[in-house]
């Protein structure tokens, strides 16, 4: 069985001071020994991640963090790691004990709320002490839901689960579609999948698999071809397909082979819409126009896949951008969670499709770029732009086109 991609899981972060029972709470909710528990403060040093089915919510991923109130050099490292978790959770649990609420907890709640992440407060260790009426009143006033539980006895675990379900962001339940909203039931999407030396041996990559699955779920049809079969495939259809989706690297050939009346885009642009904010990244793409020689460009990938052959992020994107700008640019590359906190040195961020990351983290990166005034685009958008087929690749997305025209006006 294929595991559910990380990106489709609701990420739930567990935060709080050291020793309040964060790891115990995770173990109690999952009824498994996921995270190490001990009476020594500072037991959890790195975020511990646990994917599970939390019914009826479906696939979630708990992230147990290190207590963040500690001091010293080692503590600072832990705090940094815990802060990166704040950026990628869809829901935050702030754990404390009866009588333990203070400025630190208020600050944690503030960090989550500033990221528009719903918060649940859990007063753990209810077998030892219940929260004070003062604490309950404080939270009620701030409209922050709280529950009490004991990880030791299991009392209140059910309440925590229920509270998590009711707090899960609505858009998690929305049937946000990757592609089927563009391909009515019974209609055909042609998917162009080059099988070159960069294609993994014997399988398809995640965005391709996700698109096929989404089309099947929507009772639409997928015709999957290599780029050299595209013309023949189109010729064999009795009416035009609703959409052609190509790997961005075959964009130019596909754009030439697909009649202008047939909507065409790339997997990477579909991913920008599904896993990020297409309109914002379309606006960001216009940042390419302002690049000049010597400018720094950050190329960010959400996972650390191994570059094979002519890697797209390290070789092709820099080459296309350099050709387009007609001057030497300075490229930096980051992978996985290593997104820099200081974006000021960059004139442009080019992000991958984020198929392995989660949407919340991508939204947080987009937000940070916006705050820093640095335009952010993605691979497919950059390729389409530098090849001169930007508007064509955006034609299936009227809202994104509108954003483009507004930004240009
Ligand atoms: N009595 C009681 N003890 C608990 C409860 N939950 C946790 N503990 C104890 O509290 C101590 C700390 O628990 P942990 O789960 O390791 O706490 P933590 O917040 O993950 O701590 P760090 O990883 O060090 O930040 C352990 O000795 C647990 O056995 C509870 O509900 N009741
Ligand atoms: S680098 Fe980005 S687009 Fe490529 S596989 Fe990783 S998450 Fe997906
Ligand atoms: Mg712990």
Instruction: Give the strand order in the sheet containing 243-246.
Output: 221-225, 188-192, 243-246, 264-266
pLDDT-derived band at 1, boundaries 50, 70, 90: very low
Identify the residue with better confidence: 268 or 66.
268
Measured from the CB, is residue 42 less than 6 Å from ligand 1? yes
3-state secondary structure 1-51: CCCCCHHHCEEEEEEECCCCCHHHHHHHHHCCCCCCCCCCCCCCCCCEEEE
| Cis? peptide before 56, omega within 30° of 0 | yes
Tokens 């042609």 identify what position? 190
Q: What residues does 122 pair with on adjacent strands?
A: 95, 147
Predicted confidence (pLDDT) at residue 394 exceeds the cutoff of 70 = yes
Reported confidence tier of residue 174, pLDDT bands at 50, 70, 90: low
Quote the tokens at residue 219: 């009772």
Calculate what percentage of the chain has a pLDDT beyond 90: 63
The number of the ligand 1 atom at minimal distance from the alpha carbon of 66 is 25
* Ligand showing the shortest atom-to-Cα distance for residue 94: 1
| Side-chain-side CA neighbours of residue 360 (13 Å) | 26
Q: Whose CA is closest to 334, among 322, 346, 325?
A: 346
Q: What is the pLDDT of residues 266-316, one digit of tens each?
A: 999 999 999 888 989 999 999 999 999 999 999 999 987 755 556 888 998
User: What are the start-end ranges of the E strands in 41-145?
Assistant: 48-54, 58-64, 91-97, 119-124
- Give which of 29, 97, 98 is closest to 64, Cα–Cα: 29
Per the listing, tokens 């969670």 go with 337
| pLDDT tens profile 232-249 | 999 999 999 999 999 998
**Residue 222 pairs with which residues in a beta bridge?**
189
What is the structure's pLDDT at 72? Answer: 53
Q: Which residues pair with residue 188 across a beta bridge?
A: 221
Give pLDDT, residue 67. 82
Distance between CA 357 and CA 348 in Å, rounded? 20
Q: Which atom of ligand 1 is nearest to the CA of 149?
A: 31
CA pair distance 171, 263, nearest whole angstrom? 27
Note the pLDDT of residue 6: 53
Q: Where does 193-337 show beta strands of DSSP type E?
A: 221-225, 243-246, 264-266, 296-301, 330-335
Around ligand 2, the residues with Cβ closer than 6 Å are 301-303, 305, 352-357
Over residues 49-71, the mean pLDDT reads 76
Q: Which ligand is nearest to the CA of 308?
A: 2
**Does the pLDDT value for residue 69 go beyond 80?**
no
Atom of ligand 2 at shortest range from CA of 302: 7
Tell how strand 58-64 and strand 48-54 pair up: antiparallel
For residue 187, report the distance from its CA to the centre of ligand 1, in Å.
55
| Ligand 1 neighbourhood includes 67 CB (under 6 angstroms) | yes
pLDDT tens per residue, range 147-166:
999 999 999 998 898 888 78
Phi, psi of 176 (to 5 degrees): -65, 125
How does the average pLDDT of the chain come out, rounded? 89
Residue of the CA atom closest to atom 1 of ligand 1: 125
- The residue among 385, 130, 126, 156 whose CA lies nearest residue 251 is 385
- Length reported for the chain: 409
Instruction: For a ligand 1 pocket test, name from 13, 14, 20, 21 the mutation site with the most ligand atoms within 8 angstroms of its C-beta.
Output: 21
Confidence of residue 29 (pLDDT cuts 50, 70, 90): confident
pLDDT by residue (tens digit) across 322-361?
Answer: 999 999 999 999 998 889 989 999 999 999 999 888 777 8
pLDDT band at 58 (very low <50, low <70, confident <90, very high): low
Per the CB < 8 A criterion, the answer to whether 270 and 181 are in contact is no
Q: Does 18 sit in the ligand 1 pocket, CB within 6 Å?
A: yes
Q: Is 51 in the pocket of ligand 1 (CB under 6 A)?
A: no
Q: Would the pLDDT of 68 be above 80?
A: no
Contact call for residues 376 and 352 (beta carbons, < 8 A): no
Q: What does DSSP assign to residue 155?
A: T
pLDDT digits (tens, 9 = 90+) for 70-99: 555 556 767 788 888 998 899 999 999 999
* Joined tokens for residue 273: 């819409």
Banded model confidence at residue 49, pLDDT cuts 50, 70, 90: confident
Q: What is the pLDDT of residue 2?
A: 45
Is the distance from CB of 145 to CB of 163 less than 8 angstroms? yes
212 pLDDT tier (thresholds 50, 70, 90): very high
pLDDT at position 4, please?
Answer: 57
Among the listed residues 284, 293, 310, 296, the one whose alpha carbon sits nearest the alpha carbon of residue 367? 284
Q: Measured in angstroms, how far is the CA atom of residue 315 from the centroid of ligand 3?
A: 42
């Amino acid at each position: 069985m294929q595991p559910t991609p990380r990106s489709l899981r609701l990420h739930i972060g567990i935060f709080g001071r050291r020793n309040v029972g964060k790891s115990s709470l995770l173990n109690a909710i999952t009824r498994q020994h996921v995270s190490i528990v001990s009476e020594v403060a500072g037991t959890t040093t790195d975020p511990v991640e646990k994917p599970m089915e939390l019914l009826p919510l479906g696939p979630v991923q708990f992230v147990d963090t290190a207590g963040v109130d500690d001091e010293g050099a080692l503590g600072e490292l832990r705090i940094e790691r815990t802060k990166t978790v704040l950026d990628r959770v869809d829901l935050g649990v702030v754990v404390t004990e009866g009588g333990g609420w203070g400025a630190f907890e208020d600050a944690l709640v503030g960090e989550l709320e500033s990221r528009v992440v719903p918060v649940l407060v859990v007063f753990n260790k209810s077998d030892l002490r219940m929260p004070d009426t003062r604490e309950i009143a404080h939270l009620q006033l701030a409209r922050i839901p709280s529950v009490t539980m004991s990880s030791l006895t299991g009392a209140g675990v059910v309440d925590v689960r229920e509270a998590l379900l009711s707090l899960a962001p609505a858009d998690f339940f929305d049937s946000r579609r990757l592609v089927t909203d563009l391909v009515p039931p019974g209609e055909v999407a042609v998917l162009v999948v080059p099988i070159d030396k960069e294609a993994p041996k014997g399988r398809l990559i995640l965005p391709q698999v996700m698109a096929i699955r989404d089309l099947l779920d929507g009772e639409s049809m997928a015709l999957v071809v290599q780029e050299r079969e595209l013309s023949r495939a189109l010729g064999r259809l009795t009416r035009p397909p609703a959409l052609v989706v190509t790997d961005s690297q075959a964009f130019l050939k596909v754009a030439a082979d697909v009649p202008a009346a047939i909507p065409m885009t790339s997997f990477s642009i579909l991913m920008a819409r599904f896993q990020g904010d297409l309109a914002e990244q379309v606006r960001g793409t216009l940042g390419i126009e302002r690049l000049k020689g010597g400018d720094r460009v950050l190329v960010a990938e959400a996972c650390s896949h191994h570059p094979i052959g002519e890697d797209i992020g390290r070789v092709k994107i820099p080459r296309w951008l350099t050709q387009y700008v007609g001057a030497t640019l300075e490229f930096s590359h980051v992978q996985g969670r290593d997104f820099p906190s200081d974006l000021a040195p960059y004139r442009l961020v080019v992000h991958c499709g984020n198929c392995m990351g989660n949407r919340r983290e991508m939204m947080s990166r987009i937000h940070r770029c916006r705050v820093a005034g640095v335009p952010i685009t993605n691979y497919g958008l950059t390729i389409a732009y530098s090849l001169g087929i930007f508007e064509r690749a955006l034609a299936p997305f009227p809202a994104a086109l509108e954003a483009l025209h507004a930004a240009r006006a």
